[in-house]
Amino acid sequence: MENIQFLKKSDLDGLIELYVGDIIDELNAYSYFQGFLSNSTNEKFYVDGYFKIEVSEWGLSSFTDNETESLVETNFIKALTGTKYSNNDNLINNTYNLNSICELDEPLYCYDEFKDLLNAYNIPLIRDINESPKKQFTYDPELINHKSNFTLEEASRIAANAPLKDQQGVFYSTSLVEHYEEVISECVKNKNQNGFHLITTELWCHSYSEDIGECSTRYNNGTSLKIGANVNLELTIVSKAEFLRWCKYMVIDTGLYNHQNCFDESIEALKAENEKLKTQIRPQGFQQAPPSITNSNSEEIKQLNKNIDKLNDELDLLKENSFPVMTSKLKAALKAQNNFWLSYDETNPPLQKAVTLFIEEELGLNSLKTNRDAEELTRAIQPEVIKRK
């Protein structure tokens, strides 16, 4: 039940030139509440309307993010006071306790009280309530619009108007994020009620192996999955164009858009394209050296062919920069190799200790202790040309 009389702090901030945080503490905080309240005799009754927040308290609540459960600090409403916007005149100015736990996503403020406060301080109102932006985002749409791909976790947060990463003082609905995670997973699995199929750039699902344990398995893009399949939101990637197609279907305004720009190709780009064409002209893989007619250099050519076969094998591995079955250790190793060894300075290579610490952080290990797994992974991803003393 939306009421234009009640606005968020960010909405009020757009109506005046002064930073609204300077006066917000002098306004009553409200919340829309639909549910049961209890009076002094512990009688419970149903209400539906806007109430003044009388008592709220910060505490810890459990939050499950795919595989891990963690505690997050949350503001809980303990007691509410009735107002003329509570849809029951008998509730006005009376305070009631909540029957169940209620999370406060973000407090609301009364526009009439806001105007009275501005008049008391002679603060000009530069924009009327009806002229305030229709939608304000917790993220910068122009900044995020530079991204070409999103994980399903990021896409769900954008759809719920939540920042890509939690930020102190930025409120959003965690339940709405979870709702969109479920909806977008259904569309990826091709189990949506309207038959909408979201085609991903990379598709991963949680699985279990007796040899490996908990892991994730990669599927071909566009695969129709079983209803019970558990899509990995952190690894599955969707293009911005496909994500916007889903947003149009869901009628969600994200502030993002597709805009194709044409750029003049650089000399480097033309050279790269030329090399690509040369590769396509050749037979797949490296050309085998022709057999030798004489015996004098037959051994050299045989060794050359062995080296070429080895390069072919490495080329096949490089075509995929991820493993067919992804585990937490492989994921950490792959991320570390991308971070430290893709374009390292040969005169000043990364320190083993720095790589080990990075892997330990990715695996959540205690860096104060010796972790053989992290050290072994550090050595495994190091280029063989690097010689340590």
Compute the average pLDDT of residues 246-256. 91
Range of the domain at 371: 327-381
Q: How far apart are CA 321 and CA 337, in angstroms?
A: 10
Residue 292 scores a pLDDT above 50: no
Query: What mean pLDDT do residues 68-80 have?
Result: 80
- Specify whether 80 is located in the same domain as 115: yes
Residue 257 in domain:
no
| pLDDT tens for each residue of 177-235 | 999 999 999 999 998 888 899 999 999 999 988 877 889 999 998 889 998 899 999 99
Pair (238, 175) in one structural domain: yes
What span, in angstroms and rounded, lies between the C-alpha atoms of 124 and 118? 7
Q: Which amino acid is at 373?
A: D
Kindly state whether residues 39 and 85 are assigned to the same domain: yes
Asked if 341 and 382 touch (Cβ cutoff 8 Å), the reply is yes
Domain end call among 217, 250, 283: 250
For residue 387, being part of any structural domain is answered with no
pLDDT at 72 exceeding the cut of 90: no
Got the DSSP string for 88-142? -GGGBT-EEEEEEEEE-SS-BEEHHHHHHHHHHHT----S-GGGS-S---SS-HH
Let me know if residue 294 belongs to a domain: no
Total tally of structural domains belonging to the chain: 3
- Rounded to two decimals, the pTM is 0.43
Mean pLDDT of 246-265: 80
| 235, HSE (Cβ side, Cα atoms, 13 Å) | 26
- In this structure, the answer to whether residues 161 and 242 fall within a common structural domain is yes
Cα dihedral: 121, 126, 129, 133 (round 10): -130
Token pair in block for residue 210: 């007796």
Measured CA to CA in angstroms, residue 61 lies from 58, 69, 170, 204 at distances of: 10, 10, 17, 29
Whether residues 63 and 110 share a domain: the answer is yes
Show which of 110, 131, 152 is a domain's final residue: 131
Q: The tokens of 206 are what?
A: 């949680």
Do 155 and 87 share a structural domain?
Answer: no
Inside any domain, residue 170? yes
Please indicate, yes or no, whether residues 123 and 161 belong to a single structural domain of this protein. Answer: no
116 and 14 in a common domain:
yes
> Domain boundary residue among 201, 225, 250?
250
Q: Indicate if 162 and 245 belong to the same structural domain.
A: yes
Tens of pLDDT, residues 294-309: 555 677 777 777 777 7
3-class secondary structure, 65: strand
**Lowest-pLDDT choice from 104-113, 236-245, 380-389:** 380-389
Q: Across residues 6-24, what is the average pLDDT?
A: 87
- Is 165 in the same domain as 123? no
Domain match, 119 and 10 both: yes
Is residue 288, in this structure, part of any structural domain at all? no
Cα–Cα separations (whole angstroms), residue 223 to 180, 188, 242, 250, 319: 20, 8, 15, 21, 21
317 assigned to some structural domain: no
Higher pLDDT, 260 or 333: 333
* Domain shared by 25 and 43, yes or no: yes
